[in-house]
Structure 1
Amino acid sequence: MSETSGWPRRIASGAATLFTTTILAGSAAIAFGAISARRFGIRYETMSLLPAGHAPLRIVHLGDMHLVAHDRQKIEFVRGLAALEPDLVINTGDNPGGIDAVDSVLEALEPLLHIPGVFVPGSNDFYGPRPMNPLRYLRAPSAMDSAEELRETIDVATMFRTFTETGNWHRVGNQTHTLQIREDLKINFSGTHDAHMQADAWPGFDHTDPPAQLNIAVTHAPYRRVLDTAIADGADCVFAGHTHGGQIALPRYGAIVSNCDLPTGLASSLFPWRAGGRTGLVNVTAGIGTSPTVPLRTFCPPEAVVVDLVAAN
């Protein structure tokens, strides 16, 4: 028998082994991503931005819940954030994960709605999810196009009305608002509507007397144009979400994409940003949820962020 007569059999066997290995590796990766997406945690940060002598101020920053209806584990995690005794809540949008999830979002946030807060919208506060190829994100940021007109809409009016009816939360999408947090602490907030929807219009800060001790900018998607404008206009810090921290990250490399023009290395972190001759801080949360069509996270755990503002030395 020729020495080459067994090659087809060996090739077929090798191909079958490779196929089986690939399937097993893919299944393991999906299982890992699904488990990781449910490991909700808290990232703690400190910003030395308050004037000397001021008592610390605790902020809970949450965003990108993408909460599907009746997700008890996520609902209880969000409700539990009130036990951290924040002085202020900042919500950077994309709360529901479906058109039927508004009641679940309101249940999750209910304890936090009794604490002073501000919020801005993301596109998923208005539109339900639509199927898409997740590999699109590897080519370029997802685009808002005419297909949005065909998506089912969320009852955003009820959701946002409930956010504000206690009088504690204030919407700052393309608006500015001033909060007197304590007798000795006045904070100016300015925010934008979702820059990913090309709906952002920077409103500027309120510079009336007496001046605020702190200027905070809030936006859903941290596009560089928004960060540049906010910092140059006097923002001491900016809070944003949208990126999911890349959602599918690689070990020792990090995020592959940010779904906007922010460098991937900044997709979920606290970092300085310089614009207009000024430097401010930016906090981008990786968010609590996932894309509803790709409910996986790898090496990028879901998070809420606790930021303790303290007096500068």
Structure 2
Amino acid sequence: MQTVVWQRRQKKQARFGSPGQQFDVVAATGDVSVRGTPGLLARVWPGNEYCRLECNVKRATVTPHRQRPQKPAAVLRILHLSDLHFIGTPGTAYYEFVVRTAMQQQADLILFSGDLIDRPELLDAAVRTLQPLTSLAPCCFVLGNHDWRYDFEEVRRRLQASGWRSVAGSVEIFLLKDRHIAIGGSERPWMGAEPVLVANSLCDLTILLSHSPDQLPAAQRLGYDLLLAGHTHGGQVVLPVVGPVFSPSRYGVALASGLFQGAP
């Protein structure tokens, strides 16, 4: 069973210890190259969040359903990144700011759920930008559908060579806070094998890292305590007041963003 704090994306409910932290990255860095030339119009368009970074904290209390020795409650800080889409706009300075901000969060575990690149010639820059995170905590990843469009195994090899661990179709187990944490991965429906069954695992926490939230039924069927996913971008079309109106998911906008318990 999972007991979670429901949290929508609206600013009044975003939490980052206290209210959600938001950054105008151009103002914070003083680097106008952050946005790239095509971003000039997007940046001034009313309501557009281009080159703005919002850091949210979502708190979930997870009570695993499997039988295991009881331990006192522990807090595990997981940094979850997704859908960076290196495409040249915004520029590399934007992503460097994202990583510097992420490095301040004192994470125990860092997870990336795919869609790293949209231009293969930017793979070097993408890997180089993310590499510093590996010095802070264990870093695991799966790839997404945009990575699949290119030589995705080269993307995988390059990330692994920089210190990240691929969990696609496999499980990595870490000892963190005196707890055994199992991280499984799914790159379905685009590629890869079925996630690993963990229903009989004796780990204290099992997490499925998936690019798409559509893998929620698989996560439940295979016995995972928690699913972390990206792909939906909080809704790829979001209207003021109305909220998300389009999301690339079999569930529509139901899983566009937030914390959820049980079936969608």
TM-score under structure 2 length normalisation: 0.72
Whether 1:60 aligns to 2:49 is no
Which structure's relative contact order is higher, taking Cα pairs within 8 Å and 6+ residues apart? Answer: 1
1:11-26 equivalent positions in 2, closer than 5 A: none
Q: How does 1:169-248 map to 2 (within 5 A)?
A: 169-182=164-177, 184-195=178-189, 197=190, 199=192, 201-205=194-198, 207=200, 211-223=202-214, 226-248=215-237
1:198, distance to aligned residue in structure 2 (A): 6.0
The aligned residue for residue 129 of structure 2 is 108
Q: Give distance in 1, aligned partners of 2:254 and 2:236.
A: 13
Q: Which SS does the other structure have where 1:163 is aligned?
A: helix
- The corresponding residue for 2:238 is 249
User: Offset of 1:32 from its aligned partner?
Assistant: 1.9
Aligned position for 2:95: 74
Aligned to 1:41: 54
- Structure 1 residue matching 2:249: 3-state secondary structure: coil
Output the CA distance in 2 between the equivalents of 1:165 and 1:74: 20
Q: Which moved more, 1:169-178 or 1:233-242?
A: 169-178
- Displacement after TM superposition at 1:162 (Å): 3.9
Q: Measured at CA, do residues 88 and 110 of structure 1 come closer, stay the same or move farther in structure 2, by a change above 3 Å?
A: same
**Structure-1 separation of matches of 2:123 and 2:142:** 16
Q: 1:162 to 1:83 in 2, by over 3 A?
A: farther
Mapping of residues 116-127 of structure 1, within 5 Å: 116-127=138-149
Which has a greater percent of helix?
A: 1
Tell me the alpha carbon deviations over residues 209-244 of structure 1, each in whole angstroms, 9 at most, x when there is no partner: xx1001111110111xx2112113221110000111
CA distance in 1, matches of 2:155, 2:260: 32
Classify the secondary structure of the residue corresponding to 2:74: coil
Q: Does 1:163 align with 2:182?
A: no
Q: 2 CA distance for matches of 1:41 and 1:93?
A: 19
Q: TM-score if structure 1 supplies the norm length?
A: 0.62
Q: Which secondary structure does the structure 2 equivalent of 1:259 belong to? A: coil
Q: Deviations over 1:109-150 (max 9, x none)?
A: 1121222022111022232xxxxxxxxxxxxxxxxxxxxxxx
Q: Is the 8 A contact 1:178 1:189 kept in 2?
A: yes
Q: Secondary structure at the match of 1:45?
A: coil
Contact 1:79–1:109 under 8 Å retained in 2: no
Gaps of 5+ in 2: 1-40, 64-69
Q: Whole-Å Cα distance in 1 between the matches of residues 93 and 218 of structure 2? A: 39
Give the gaps of 5 or more residues in structure 1: 1-27, 128-152, 276-313
Identical-residue share of aligned pairs (%): 27
Give the conservation status (yes or no) of the 8 Å contact 2:188–2:194: no
**Is the partner of 1:271 in helix, strand or coil?**
coil
Report if aligned partners of 1:176, 1:206 keep a CA contact under 8 Å in 2: no
8 Å Cα contact 2:169-2:193 kept in structure 1: yes
RMSD across aligned positions (CA): 2.7
How many residues align structurally?
216
Cα separation, 1, equivalents of 2:140 and 2:54: 22
Q: Which runs of 4+ in 1 moved over 4 A?
A: 28-31
Structure label with greater radius of gyration: 1
**Secondary structure at the counterpart of residue 56 of structure 2:** strand
